[in-house]
Amino acid sequence: MYRTLVPALMGAALLSACANQTQTAAAPDIAPYVSTRDADRIEYAVPNHLLFATDSAEVLPTGHKILEAIAGAAKRRGTAPIEVNGYADTTGRKAYNQKLSEARAQAVASELASNGVDAARIKPQGFGESELAVPTADSVDEAKNRRVVVRIASN
C-alpha cells in the first residue's frame, strides 16, 4: 500500500510544505513521513519501515523514491548543511541499536549522495535509543522511535 501512495504523494505533500507548517505525506489515517519547514530548515522524519527491512541498513525500493525526493529538496537548498540522524527503539541491546542507527544514517547519507547531493554537506549520525520520540520502557517495540530524520538547513 505504501509503495503506491508514497510516489504519488511525494511531490505534492512532501515538498510543498509552507513556512512553519507540518504536513503528513498521505491520507490522515496513514502517516508514511512528515515534513516540517521553518525559516531555518526543512526536516523530513521518515519511519524506518519505509526505508529499511527489520534489522537491516539496506534501503528498500520505497526508500529510494522517498530519498530521491529529499535529495531534490537538498539540491535546491544549494550548499546548506544536511544532518541525517538515525534513531532506534529500546528492543535489543543498546550497543546494537546504536550501531544499527549509525548504519542506517550512513545508508541514507550515501543514498542522498548517489542522487547528486554533495557528500561533504552531509553529516550522518546515529543516536540509537538515546532520543526516543515516544518514551517507552526497555524492550518495548515502539515503531515511532525507529526513524531517520533528515534536516536541511537554509543557506
Axis crossing angle, helix 61-76 with helix 94-114, rounded to the nearest 10: 60
> Among 11-20, 37-46, 109-118, which is the least confidently predicted range?
11-20
Domain 45-153 has CATH 3.30.1330.60: yes
Tens of pLDDT along 79-123?
999 999 999 888 889 999 999 999 999 999 999 999 999 999 999
Name the more confident of 50 and 22.
50
Q: What's the confidence (pLDDT) of residue 36?
A: 84
Question: For all residues of the chain together, what is the average pLDDT?
Answer: 79
Sheet holding 21-24, edge to edge: 21-24, 34-37, 41-47, 147-153, 82-87, 122-126
CB atoms near residue 93 (< 10 Å): 11
Residue 25 has pLDDT above 70, yes or no: no
Q: What are the cell numbers at 54? A: 527489520
